[in-house]
């Protein structure tokens, strides 16, 4: 038990390094600037990061990205605490998986929501701050097979991201770099059986018309 605590602490430090190292180095990109304007001028979305930014008057690159990096780091011990099995493997994965690290280094709300989503698997009401941060948090409502399916799709998408094909003949197609979103969405809709939901919705709308 004690050795596990030491291991998780070490992992958290590794996670912190990947997330905080050179955090303010890159300039803000367009979506981060959108968040910066939210902090500066107020708005009705991304509430928790926005309130945090307003509270501390943040507007530098490091400042705007700080909460994401902090929450992304804290997700490592959180998932260790919340998971019932494969605790250490989950923590290792969260600590170094590039997409988690990447969004933890951005002035975007996803890593903040991610921390609350993970905590909501133990305390349901943590979903409230997650949803207040971004409604996308609904995707992680509970760790059931559909959510796991989405994560698997995300991981496959990561390893098959268009960069992987750079220089290959497939990149000569001239398609949008996000061409793979459509098959990904199709797969997600298939896995989550949205077709049934749409059919139900269509029949209800039809019954309203008559």
Partner 1 sequence: MEKFIFIAAIAYCLVADLGLSTQRWYSQEVMFSDWRGIPAVDYSTNAPVSTWYSGHSTKYLRADNLERFLAEPDTVTLGIDYYGLTDISANLASSFHSQLVIDSLIHGGVLVAKSFHGQLTITGLPF
What is the binding site for partner 1 (CB under 8 A)? Answer: 18, 21-22, 25-31, 33-34, 36-37, 89, 92-93, 96-98, 101-102, 105-106, 161-163, 177-178
Of the two residues 135 and 177, which places its CB atom closer to partner 1 in the complex? 177
Q: Given the complex with partner 1, which of 174 and 210 has the nearer CB atom? A: 174
Cβ proximity to partner 1, 21 vs 204, nearer residue? 21
Contacts of 153 (CB under 8 A, 6+ apart): 184, 187, 188, 191
Minimum separation from the CB atom of position 199 to partner 1 (A): 34
**Shortest Å, Cβ 28 to partner 1:** 7
How near is the Cβ of 185 to partner 1 at its closest, in Å?
A: 16
Both structure tokens of 89: 């493997």
Q: What share of the chain is helix, strand, coil (3-state, %, to 5)?
A: 75, 0, 25
**Which C-beta is closer to partner 1: that of 34 or that of 149?**
34
> Minimum Å distance from CB 177 to partner 1?
4
- Taking the complex as a whole, the smallest distance from the CB of residue 114 to partner 1 amounts, in Å, to 17
Quote the CA–CA distance of 135 and 188 in Å, as a whole number. Answer: 18
**HEC letters along 129-190:** HHHHHCHHHHHHCCCCHHHHHHHHHHHHHHHCCHHHHCCCHHHHHCCCCCCCHHHHHHHHHH
Nearest residue to 64 (alpha-carbon basis) of 45, 47, 75, 50: 50
Q: Sign of the C-alpha dihedral, residues 135, 137, 142, 147?
A: positive
Least separation in angstroms between CB 135 and partner 1? 21
Output 37 or 194, the one with its CB closest to partner 1.
37
Which CB atom, from 68 or from 120, has the smaller least distance to partner 1?
68
Cα separation of the two ends of the chain: 64
């Amino acid at each position: 038990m004690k050795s596990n605590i030491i291991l998780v602490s070490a992992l958290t430090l590794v996670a912190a390094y990947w997330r905080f190292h050179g955090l303010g180095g890159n300039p803000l990109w367009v979506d981060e600037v959108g968040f910066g304007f939210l902090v500066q001028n107020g708005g009705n979305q991304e509430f928790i990061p926005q309130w945090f930014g307003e509270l501390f008057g943040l507007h530098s690159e490091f400042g705007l990205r700080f909460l994401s990096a902090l929450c992304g780091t804290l997700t490592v011990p959180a998932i260790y605490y919340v998971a019932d099995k494969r605790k250490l493997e989950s923590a290792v994965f969260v600590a170094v998986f590039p997409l988690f690290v990447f969004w933890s280094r951005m002035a975007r709300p996803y890593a903040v929501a991610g921390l609350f989503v993970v905590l909501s698997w133990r305390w349901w009401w943590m979903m409230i701050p997650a949803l207040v941060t971004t409604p996308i948090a609904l995707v992680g409502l509970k760790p059931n097979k559909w959510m796991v399916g989405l994560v698997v799709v995300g991981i496959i998408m990561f390893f098959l991201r268009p960069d992987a094909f750079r220089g290959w003949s497939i990149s000569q197609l001239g398609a949008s770099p996000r061409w793979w979103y459509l098959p990904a969405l199709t797969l997600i809709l298939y896995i989550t059986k949205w077709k049934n939901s749409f059919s139900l919705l269509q029949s209800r709308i039809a019954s309203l018309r008559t």
